[in-house]
Structures are given as C-alpha cells and as structure tokens.
Amino acid sequence: MKKSLGKGTHAMPTPVWLVGSYDQEGKANLATVAWGGVCSSDPAAVTVSLRKSRHSYDAIMQRKAFTVNIPSQAFVAAADYAGIASGRSADKFAAAGLTSVKSDLVDAPYVAEFPLVLECRLLQVVEIGVHTQFIGEIVDVKADEEVLDDKGNVDPAKVLPLVYSPTNRAYYGLGAVVGQGFEIGKQFMK
Amino acid sequence: MKKSLGKGTHAMPTPVWLVGSYDQEGKANLATVAWGGVCSSDPAAVTVSLRKSRHSYDAIMQRKAFTVNIPSQAFVAAADYAGIASGRSADKFAAAGLTSVKSDLVDAPYVAEFPLVLECRLLQVVEIGVHTQFIGEIVDVKADEEVLDDKGNVDPAKVLPLVYSPTNRAYYGLGAVVGQGFEIGKQFMK
C-alpha cells in the first residue's frame, strides 16, 4: 500500500552540476544545480533550472551561454558551497580553490579541476513557476584524459560523479554496476 | 589538459525513470527515460523527453498526464526492457511482470511494484530537435511505507534507485553518502 506524500520534488537521483557563467562585470561565477538533466540527443542539449533571484540568472540571459561542470566526488564541499553562497558577494572560484578557464566556444568559464565539462549555447528559456529552465545546446564536451577508457569513452568509474537526492539533501557516490543498458532487458523480449 | 570530445550527451548522472501513460485504446504503457529531471520547486515539476516516434508520445499528448515511476535496482531488467520494447506491439507491464494501478488524480497508470511514484499533470510541451520535452506538475508523490524513514521522509538507501550514465550505457546503484547538502560546503563561507 502506497502512502500519499502530497506535492513535492521527491525524485531521485538528481545530478550535481555547477553552472559556469560570466556576470555583467565579467566575473566568473558558479551555481550548483540539482534541477537539471539531459533533454535532447540531437541537438545534444541539457537543462538547468535557476530561480530569477540567482546571480547566474542575469549572467546567462545576457551572455546566452553557460557551462555545465561535473565534479568528481572529491569536490563535494566545493559543489555544496557553490549552491549556498551568492556570486553577488563572493568570488566562488577563489573561495573554493577552483580555477576558471575561458571557453573558446561559448561566452562562459569552466572549472579546470573538474573532470568533465559541457560548453553550452543558450537555446531556449522556459518559465516554470519560481524556476526558469535554461536549455543549452552542448557545443563541445571536454574531459580530462584520465577519465577516458581505452576507446576514448568517458568512464563514470573514473569521473566518480556526485549523485544527489532532494528527499534527504544528501550527496552520494556512484555505486556498483548493476546492469548494461540495451542488454539486460532483452530477457523480457518475446 | 582537457580533451575535446565534440558535441554529445556525455553527462552524468542521469535518472532511470519509467513513464506511465494510457494509450488511445486505454492500454497501460511504460517508456524508460534517462533524459529528464526535476525542473521546478513550485510548482513541483519534472521533465521527461521522448521522441515523437515513441508510443507514449501520443498517449501523453492526448491524456495530458503521465506518471514517473522510480524503480529500485532489483528492477533493472524491467527498466531496461521498457526502454527497448515498443508499447505498440508489446504489453510491457505484462511482459515485465509489473502491475498497473490507475491513478486517482491523473489519467495515467503507475507501477505497483516500484517504491516511489510521481503523478503528473501535463504543464508544458517544449520541442527540442528530435526530442519533445514534457513538463509535468507533480500533483502527488506516492511511496511505499518501507522506504520512509522515522520522520516520514523518503530514504534513498531504502529506495535504492538506479543511476545511469549515457557515456557507457551502464546502470549503477547508489553509492555511499559523501556529504550532507547545505552543510559540507559551509567550510568555504567567510
């Protein structure tokens, strides 16, 4: 018997992505989001949702670009910090000991220390209540060579991304492999 | 030094959510998505992206409703199957040994065996290239009592959700807790 919990964002897992942007003064800023995901294969695109009050909101609207920076779990404190502090008063890169690199492709900075980065051109802006959803076309993916496997694919076991659950506000690591996609389900095919 | 991998959906983690809907004949159907996420806190809302060719596309457009069914990792094969097979030719609930329950709140079925279910009313439809993004307002969350903690919150360690990475098409379990949100980052606050 299922219990009704009412309305709420009791979903899981969610990502832990740091959104990079340049503000009006050209200062590099970061905002951590759990509200986001991949939304399209072609064009390759991701979404990140931000409240209008966030410093990054104006930055993305003006520059029409952002990066998605995927931290490894060693950077959990920096990731959390970038979700608590405001770029209006703080230099989050400096405070968290991170290095900003200007993207050659979009008008936004990315995090040198993080293993996986998506450079995004703003594609659409969707208003949904208190949050604004930014849809970004992924114009390039950049990865540290150390997180690639023999075939040049990104290996999650080397990236060690953070996994979040809003239900208890906890960050998790990645667990063990429990199945291969487009394979393990074939047992139910007639 | 980062290596450029070109355009692509090399993001992680992504969720593994089974989208429930009724088709034109009233048959309950499921479609597994990794392209989706939470998109808003108020109204509480989620997104799921589907190609127009998917059987669930017409169903959601017609019924203006869907459910998001979050499997525990024991259901990894069923989750994968619902992403491979088509509801046009298969009864996925029956084939995967799952039970459909009609939602009292929205015109869509949910999976009795899964620990966590979001009942969604279609809010917006956003076209993004080959994928259509459905934004659903979460009108209720239903959870098995067994996955709630002492305070009635949903405990991810009891849900054991699947975590997916499109870079290697692998399903993962949830790893260990590596930090508490809105806490561990305070060390960088001045």
Q: What is this model's ipTM?
A: 0.97
Chain A residues lying within 8 Å of B149, measured CB to CB: 168
Q: Would you give the end-to-end CA distance of chain A in angstroms?
A: 31
Residue B121: burial class (beta carbons within 10 Å; 0-12, 13-18, 19+): middle
**Partner residue opposite B126 with nearest CB, options A126, A138, A167:** A126
Contact A63, A108 (CB under 8 A): yes
Q: Round to the nearest angstrom and report the end-to-end CA distance of chain B.
A: 31
Kindly tell me if the per-residue pLDDT of B17 is higher than 90: yes
Mutation site for B-interface testing, chosen from A19, A33, A38 by largest number of B Cβ within 10 Å: A38
Q: What is the pLDDT of residues B85-116, one digit of tens each?
A: 999 999 999 999 999 999 999 999 999 999 99
Whether A115 and A69 have beta carbons less than 8 Å apart is answered as: no
Which element (helix H / strand E) includes B46? Answer: strand B44-51
- Taking only the tens place, the pLDDT of each residue in B25-42 is 999 999 999 999 999 999
Residue with tokens 């209540």, as numbered in its chain: A129
pLDDT class for B190, splitting at 50, 70, 90? confident
- Report the pLDDT value the prediction gives residue B1, as an integer from 0 to 100: 80
Structure tokens at A96: 């968290």
Task: Select from A18, A15, A16 the least CA-distant residue to A109.
Answer: A18
Task: Give φ, ψ of A97 to 5 degrees.
Answer: 70, 30
A11 at interface of B, judged by CB pairs closer than 8 A = yes
Count of CB atoms within 10 A of residue B94's CB? 12
Whole-structure pTM value: 0.98
**Chain A interface includes B127 (CB < 8 A):** no
Q: Chunked in runs of 10, what are the mean pLDDT values of chain A (190 residues)?
A: 96 98 97 98 98 96 98 98 94 97 98 98 98 98 97 97 98 98 95
Chain B interface includes A20 (CB < 8 A)? no
| Torsion sign over Cα A51, A169, A157, A110 | positive
Q: How far off is chain B from A64, nearest CA to CA, in Å? A: 17
Collect all residues of chain B within an 8 Å Cβ-Cβ radius of residue A38. 9, 11, 14, 34-36, 49, 166
pLDDT of A138: 98
Per-residue pLDDT of A27-75, as tens digits, reads: 999 999 999 999 999 999 999 999 999 999 999 999 999 999 999 999 9
Number of Cβ atoms within 10 Å of the Cβ of B104: 8
